[in-house]
Amino acid sequence: MTQHPEEKKTNLVQRSRELLDTAVQGLKGRDLGVLVDEFTSEMTLVAEGLSEDLSRAQQDLAQLSAAHTIEEEGRRSLEERVNALQRRVDALEKKQDKQQQKRGTLTSVLRQVTVIAAILAGAWVITALLKTFGGA
């Protein structure tokens, strides 16, 4: 059942010739100018399709770029707000430290409450940011 290498080689060459003969016979009956025109029209159609695809991709890229810019500006704005809040918290802590030195025990209790409130406010801001930009 196994073919010798010479037979395999002969069969492969014969099949290749038959394929080429079939292709040549299909072309012999047609005018070369018509074939060139068909090829040109098909390639023009393909090029137009690629051009449309490229145009759509460029529009999508422009939209994504605009959306990214808007998101980046929003992130910067929120970052500035968080930094401003942090500066306010730091200023309040410094102020409380000065008052604690003056007032003693009562001031110490108030300072602890304020620090807890600042932590809670910071946690609230962070939670709000995570909800806004975290997607959850």
Angle between helices 32-103 and 105-134 (to 10 degrees): 170
What is the average pLDDT score of the chain?
Answer: 82
For 132, residues 6+ apart whose C-beta sits below 8 A from its C-beta are: 78
| pLDDT tens profile 67-113 | 999 999 999 998 999 899 899 999 999 988 877 676 677 767 788 88
Once rounded to an integer, what is the mean pLDDT over residues 12-36? 69
In this prediction, residue 99 carries a pLDDT of 72
| Amino acid found at 91 | A
Q: Is residue 18 part of a domain?
A: no
Specify whether the CB–CB gap between 92 and 118 falls below 8 A: yes
Which residue is it, tokens 């037979």? 7
Q: Say what the pTM is.
A: 0.39
Q: Number of folded domains in the chain?
A: 1
Answer yes or no: is 16 within a domain.
no
Domain hosting residue 110, numbered range: 31-134
| 1 pLDDT higher than 70 | no
